[in-house]
């Protein structure tokens, strides 16, 4: 991030706002989880309620109707939202994370003026990067955008796209050159309204967990958009924009893992202090205490990493490596904490009657999307080697 982030609120005002979101997530959103699971989505009326809390405009500048939170304020807020089921975070995170970042760093003033007010008031965004044959290899995508007079014609398929089935706007990454160019300049980004002729939003995917968090394919067949849809008005900047947006996305996923891990550990503590065996609560058993302690250590480590990364981001320092570190550690730790919570519950932890069975399934994908753990390892190692070579 080239410039230090200006905080949108003074510390006291933000603390009050964060406390309000904490109550909303833990009381209202948690109470709405059964409705979301039954409907298979965060229904429009619930989205409207979330919009009324300002959640869709968290990072959108105030002059466009948003709250204009800094990156640190945003992630801290999302960690509170993440106490509730992942579906709630999922429906708003593309707006507040990837699309907001992409428009800020790569959009024209006209594009920001058109889309920020809509996104800030509940229009649903999607980030069209992953394809059937190019997930982690994002530079190898096949979707094409061919210039035709004052238009571009797009063809291709995007896979596992968050909010794909209900999206109003899709930021599509596409090749504007058939050949791979230096610095991935063959990739450009396009703002495509979901009602554009030729764009089809496929039926939602069936997944292991995260019920209500919708994903699905987006198919583009001779989708014609004006040149004004080219993000930033310049070809070849799409990959760079995508990578900058992914920094925010990876911090957001790391924050979501931390927020959900807090709830999972709370559930494990609650069960351990209520469940009795051999005449006493199982919280008195040292091996149960060891699992609780290990979970607290990992959660504290993840929180400390996040705090450092956000401090750097707020100071305007580059955080790509740190974002990958946080995303890797926090999501892996969340998985281990969920596993221990199931173990603490014993046989009950395998039953759908208890939340930990769902928690266990929900958190598995955190280690996969926004770059798998293995991709984060490669990103971190390459940065280390590059910095070492530069210093030498």
Would you state the pLDDT for residue 392? Answer: 86
Cα–Cα distance, 80 to 78 (Å, whole number): 5
Q: Which residue has the higher pLDDT, 244 or 101?
A: 101
Helix (H) or strand (E) holding 172: strand 169-175
Dihedral sign for Cα atoms in the order 157, 162, 165, 166: negative
For 270-295, what is each residue's pLDDT tens digit? 999 999 999 999 999 999 999 999 99
Say whether 9 sits in a helix, a strand or coil.
Answer: coil
Average pLDDT over residues 61-66: 94
Structure tokens at 376: 């984060």
Say which range, 76-80, 134-138, 382-386, has the weakest mean pLDDT. 134-138
Cα–Cα distance, 248 to 331 (Å, whole number): 15
Would you state the pLDDT for residue 1? Answer: 43
Cα–Cα distance, 109 to 300 (Å, whole number): 41
Average pLDDT over residues 12-34: 97
Average pLDDT over residues 108-123: 96
The model's confidence at residue 181, banded by pLDDT at 50, 70 and 90, is confident
Would you state the pLDDT for residue 5? Answer: 53
Q: Which residues contact 112 (CB under 8 A, 6 or more apart)?
A: 61, 64, 103, 104
Would you state the pLDDT for residue 128? Answer: 93
Structure tokens at 96: 């507040």
Would you state the pLDDT for residue 245? Answer: 79
pLDDT at 244 over 70: yes
Superfamily of domain 126-235, CATH level 4: Butyryl-CoA Dehydrogenase, subunit A, domain 2 (2.40.110.10)
Would you state the pLDDT for residue 136? Answer: 64
- For Cα atoms 223, 228, 229, give the angle at the middle one, nearest 5 degrees: 45
Say which range, 40-44, 294-298, 343-347, 369-373, has the weakest mean pLDDT. 369-373
The residues of the chain that CATH labels 1.20.140.10 are 240-391
The residues of the chain that CATH labels 1.10.540.10 are 11-123
For 344-364, what is each residue's pLDDT tens digit? 999 999 999 999 999 999 999
Tell me the catalytic residues: 370
Q: Tell me phi and psi for residue 350, to 5 degrees.
A: -95, -5
Q: Which residue has the higher pLDDT, 240 or 122?
A: 122
For 194-222, what is each residue's pLDDT tens digit? 999 999 998 899 999 999 999 999 999 99
Average pLDDT over residues 157-186: 92
Asked: is 11-123 a CATH 1.10.10.10 domain? The reply is no
The model's confidence at residue 6, banded by pLDDT at 50, 70 and 90, is low
Percentage of the chain lying above the pLDDT 90 cut: 86
**Domain covering 240-391, topology:** Butyryl-CoA Dehydrogenase, subunit A; domain 3 (1.20.140)
pTM of the model: 0.92
pLDDT at 189 over 90: yes
pLDDT at 247 over 90: no
Say which range, 91-100, 147-156, 304-313, has the weakest mean pLDDT. 91-100
DSSP labels, 227-254: GGGBGGG-TT-HHHHHHHHHHHHHHHHH
The model's confidence at residue 140, banded by pLDDT at 50, 70 and 90, is confident
Residue 94 DSSP symbol:
I
Q: Are 220 and 199 in contact (CB under 8 A)?
A: yes
Provide the angle, in degrees to the nearest 10, between the axes of the packed helices 373-391 and 320-345.
140
The residues of the chain that CATH labels 2.40.110.10 are 126-235
Q: Are 121 and 62 in contact (CB under 8 A)?
A: no
């Amino acid at each position: 991030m080239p410039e230090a982030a200006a905080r949108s609120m003074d510390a006291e005002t933000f603390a009050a706002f964060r406390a309000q979101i904490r109550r909303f997530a833990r009381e209202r959103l948690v109470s709405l989880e059964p409705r979301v699971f039954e409907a298979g989505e965060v229904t429009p009326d619930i989205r409207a309620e979330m919009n009324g809390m300002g959640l869709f405009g968290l990072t959108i500048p105030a002059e466009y109707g948003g709250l204009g939170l800094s990156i640190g304020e945003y992630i801290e807020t999302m960690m509170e939202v993440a106490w509730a089921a992942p579906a709630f975070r999922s429906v708003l995170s593309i707006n507040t994370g990837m699309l907001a970042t992409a428009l800020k760093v790569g959009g024209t003033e006209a594009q920001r003026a058109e889309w920020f007010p809509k996104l800030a008031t509940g229009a649903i965004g999607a980030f069209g990067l992953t394809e059937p044959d190019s997930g982690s290899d994002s530079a190898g995508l096949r979707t094409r955008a061919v210039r035709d007079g004052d238009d571009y014609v797009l063809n291709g398929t995007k896979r596992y796209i968050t909010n794909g089935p209900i999206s109003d706007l899709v930021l599509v990454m596409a090749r504007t050159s058939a050949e791979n160019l230096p610095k991935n300049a063959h990739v450009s980004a396009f703002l495509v309204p979901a009602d554009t002729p030729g764009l089809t939003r496929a039926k939602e995917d069936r997944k292991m967990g995260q019920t209500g968090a919708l994903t699905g394919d987006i198919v583009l067949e001779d989708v014609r958009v004006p040149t004004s849809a080219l993000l930033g008005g310049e070809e070849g900047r799409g990959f760079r924009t995508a990578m900058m947006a992914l920094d925010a996305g990876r911090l957001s996923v790391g924050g979501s893992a931390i927020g959900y891990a807090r709830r999972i550990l709370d559930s494990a503590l609650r069960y351990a202090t209520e469940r009795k065996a051999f005449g006493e609560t199982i919280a008195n058993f040292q091996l149960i205490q060891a699992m609780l302690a290990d979970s607290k250590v990992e959660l504290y480590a993840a929180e400390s990493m996040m705090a450092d990364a956000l401090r750097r981001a707020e100071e305007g320092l580059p955080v790509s490596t740190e974002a990958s570190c946080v995303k890797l550690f926090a999501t892996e730790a969340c998985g281990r904490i969920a596993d221990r919570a199931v173990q603490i519950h014993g046989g009950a932890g395998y039953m759908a009657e208890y939340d930990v069975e769902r928690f266990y399934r929900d958190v598995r994908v955190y280690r996969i999307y926004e770059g798998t753990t293995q991709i984060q390892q490669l990103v971190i190692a390459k940065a280390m080697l590059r910095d070492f070579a530069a210093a030498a």
